[in-house]
Amino acid sequence: MSATSLLEREEIECAYCKDSKPASETTWFMAEPGEKSVRLCDFCYEEARKQLRLLRIVRNRGDYPLEAAS
């Protein structure tokens, strides 16, 4: 039995939406160096990445974030 097959069956709870997902569908996420890293599902990870990128742009440039209609 390979380690990959064991990992795929393991259910992990997303730290944000609290849904249980297979470990292969989750990613470790650390917003800032030194912060506690958490496990996020793929959807929440992408959303957190977008928000973090927006915050870094605001912090670096001093601009105000604009929300676009989706």
- Banded pLDDT at 50 (limits 50, 70, 90): confident
Does residue 40 contact residue 26 with C-beta atoms inside 8 Å? yes
Q: For 30-42, what is the mean pLDDT? A: 83
**pLDDT for residue 13:** 92
For residues 13 and 43, give the distance between their C-alpha atoms in angstroms, rounded to a whole number.
13
What does the buried/exposed string (b/e) look like for 39-66 if buried means 16 or more CB atoms within 10 Å of the residue's CB? bbbeebbeebeeeeeeeeeeeeeeeeee
Mean pLDDT score across all residues of the chain: 74
Tell me the whole-structure pTM to 2 decimals: 0.57
Does residue 40 contact residue 29 with C-beta atoms inside 8 Å? yes
Domains of the chain, by residue range, sit at 3-61
Instruction: Choose the most confident range, by mean pLDDT, from 39-43, 54-58, 66-70.
Output: 39-43
User: Which token pair is 35?
Assistant: 């912060």
